Amino acid sequence: MSFSGILKEIVRKVDGAASAMIIGVDGMPIEEYTAESLLSLDDLGAEASQMIKDINNAALNLGIGEAREFSIISDRCGILMRGITPEYFLALILKPGGNYGKGRFVLRSCIPRIESEF
């Protein structure tokens, strides 16, 4: 299945999911799928680069190793990010009432299908 197909499947499986994307640590989007636009995925890509670096630095400074997953929950949406490899992340954008637990599970379970392509 293509990246686009996998992203579409992720969004369809999670209640309240609006979009999903694969992004490099440099902020460049690899692939994206949007069912409902809650935020600009281009803007997320631009900001994600610095967020990933900052979170990884904090995790390393705490002595807990590289960050594999992190989330940002705001009034307007939630962003779940899960590492595919150290250079690529999978992001899921959810509505405030979305199923964040299932989102985390679906991201984690999709990683093996994606990581072999990197």
pLDDT score of 66 = 85
What's the pTM? 0.90
List, for residues 69-81, the tens digit of each pLDDT value.
Answer: 999 999 999 999 9
pLDDT score of 1 = 63
Kindly report the CATH number assigned to the domain that includes residue 37. 3.30.450.30
Which residue positions in the chain have pLDDT lower than 50? none
pLDDT score of 115 = 85
- Report how many domains make up the chain: 1
For 56-85, give the secondary structure using H, E and C. Answer: HHHHHHCCCCCCCEEEEECCCCEEEEEEEE
Q: Which residues contact 53 (CB under 8 A, 6 or more apart)?
A: 25
List, for residues 10-28, the tens digit of each pLDDT value.
Answer: 999 999 999 999 999 888 8
Residue 80, domain extent = 3-115
Q: What is the number of alpha carbons within 13 Å of residue 111 lying toward its C-beta?
A: 18
